[in-house]
Each structure stands twice: as structure tokens, then as C-alpha cells.
Amino acid sequence: MADQWYFGAGRLSRKVPPDMTEVFPVILFYKYVEVADPAEFATAQRELCLELGLKGRVLIANEGINGTLAGPSAAIDCYTEALKQDARFSDITFKLSAGDPGTFPKLVVKVRKEIVTLNAGDLEPDRDNLLNPSAWKERMESDPDAVVLDVRNRYETDAGRFENAIVCGIEHFRELPGYLEELEPLKEKHVLMYCTGGVRCEKASALLRQRGFQHVHQLEGGIVSYQEQFGNEHWLGECFVFDQRMTVKVEQGLKQIGRCAHTGGVTSRFVNCLHDPCHKLFLVSESAERANPDLRLCPECLAAGLTSETAEYRQPASL
């Protein structure tokens, strides 16, 4: 029997032990809203998640909340209900995908300066230029002057992206301000911007408009919301996610674009470079690595003459 959770009068109670055989949904959520005491709110969030047996990551700052959590369906339902009972988050949107007990290894709740790090100074996140997936898709299809801009990291776009999208090739979102010079030709264009769930776009849009970009439009709800409605229309490959799954995909009409960095073979398997000072995340096929263990090194480290024997890496802890 699955858990039955109850939240009311500020108190949480559980009737029966969790059923580990049930579906483990994953929720993705964020909201930019003033949080007067992030540390106090983080403590309450941590206690709630621990009581519910949820794992994942929740980041809290004065500017809001950004999280992704996984757990038994009943526990997830209880969490979403509890968060929405807070007036600040009564209208928060939760995006849902399928996970399992191993989706996250642990629970992390942290207070940060920003709920997504951009390091661009004080920016009021944009909300006035959101296009719902239907309107965004229609604009992409009908406006010859529109360009599609992916503001995610390089490895995310390696796994999947919208067709004809301009990708930034940055390793971290905080590098976007320094990359804007490369995007100067887009200043007068209609820019259709997207990210995974929307949290990065609200800041990236504000940054671009601050720097003189005239026509910026965000995909409301990001890739996740778009694929809920339109699947793989105009989409290539898989969607990178920041958990143990690494990528998620819509099977119908799937067009794989992930390629092994060494052989060019089709793959969606990510690894970190074996050389710890590098630790770059990249795609490598299992068969290629099995045939040559040196291919666990990224192309740059391999070209520098490193091998699996000479690379610096931490030995796994002994049992």
C-alpha cells in the first residue's frame, strides 16, 4: 500500500511506510519572488523534504526558489500542496517527468545568492515577454526574421536542441555575460530564447534587453513544457537534466543528434573526463570506451598526450 500523507494546520503526518515499488515522479519548479529570510525558509524546506523522504536539490535565495525533487507519488503530491499553501508560491508551476528511487542520490537544500548563478549584477527577471509553447512555435515557423537562441550549457546542447538553434557553447550559465559580444549580430533580430524549464531564460532575457537587444521572446516553461504539447516537432535529440538520468526523451519521432566525441557514433551517454583537473562532461559511447579505456579522457586531454594510466583521478573509496 502506498503512503497516505496529510498536511494541514501546519502539521505533516504519515499513515503507512512508503511503497518503494510505486512510480517516482520528478518535479521541476521555480519562482522568482522575494524571500525575506532564505535561511529560515531553507530550514523549513529541508525538514519537509526529509519528512516526506524526497531527494533532489532545492536552491533558495532572496530572489526565490529553484528546485527539482523526486519521491513517491503521494509524497510529491504532499510537497506540492504544502508549497502552494504558502501565499508566495500559490501560483507556482510544477513540471513533471518520470524518475525512480535512484534519480537523486541525496537531498540538498542550500541558500545561495542567486537561484541560478549569472553574476550579472542586479537584474529584475523578465516576465513580460513570455510566449506559451503554441505561440512560440507559431512564431518560429512563421517569422523569417526570427532566430532561435539556446542559452544552456555546451554539453546540454550536445545532447539535444531545437533545429537551426544558435548555441552559446558555454560551460556554465555564469559565462553568458562574457559571451554576449558573440551575439551582437542578433541585436535587431527577433530572438526566440529557450532553456530547460524557464528559470535561466528569465534572467538571460533581462540581461540581453539590458545590453540593447530589442526583440527578445522567451519560451514559457522551456523545453519541458514545449515537449508536453508538441513532442519532437522541430526538436532534435534528448533533453539534458541535472540528475542521475542525465537525459530524458520523447520516443515518438526521436531524431538522435548526440555523438561520441571520439568516434562520432550515435550515443546519449555522458561521462566526466577521467583527468580530474579537467573533469569535462562529454559524450562517449560505451563500446568505444570498452575498446579503448583511454577514450574516457576528453579529446583535449587525449590530444595533450594523457592516457588512462597517466591521468590524475581519485581512486574509488574502498569498501
Judging by beta carbons within 10 Å of its beta carbon (0-12, 13-18, 19+), is residue 46 exposed, middle or buried?
middle
Q: Which CATH class is domain 130-240?
A: alpha beta
How many contiguous H segments (helices) and E segments (strands) does the chain have?
9, 18
Which CATH number is 5-111's, of 3.30.565.10, 3.30.70.100, 3.90.1150.10, 3.50.50.60?
A: 3.30.70.100
Question: Which residues carry out catalysis?
Answer: 195
Segments making up each domain of the chain, as ranges: 5-111, 130-240, 259-319
As a whole number of angstroms, the longest Cα–Cα distance in the chain is 63
- Residue-wise pLDDT tens for the chain (319 aa)? 444 444 443 445 444 344 444 679 999 999 999 999 999 999 999 999 999 999 999 999 999 999 999 999 999 999 999 999 999 999 999 999 999 999 999 999 999 999 999 999 989 999 999 999 999 999 999 999 899 999 999 999 999 999 999 999 999 999 999 999 999 999 999 999 999 999 999 999 999 999 999 999 999 999 999 999 999 999 999 999 999 999 999 999 999 999 999 999 999 999 999 999 999 999 999 999 999 999 999 999 999 999 999 999 876 544 3
Q: Evaluate whether 5-111 and 130-240 have a shared fold.
A: no
pTM: 0.89
Q: What is the pLDDT of residue 236?
A: 98
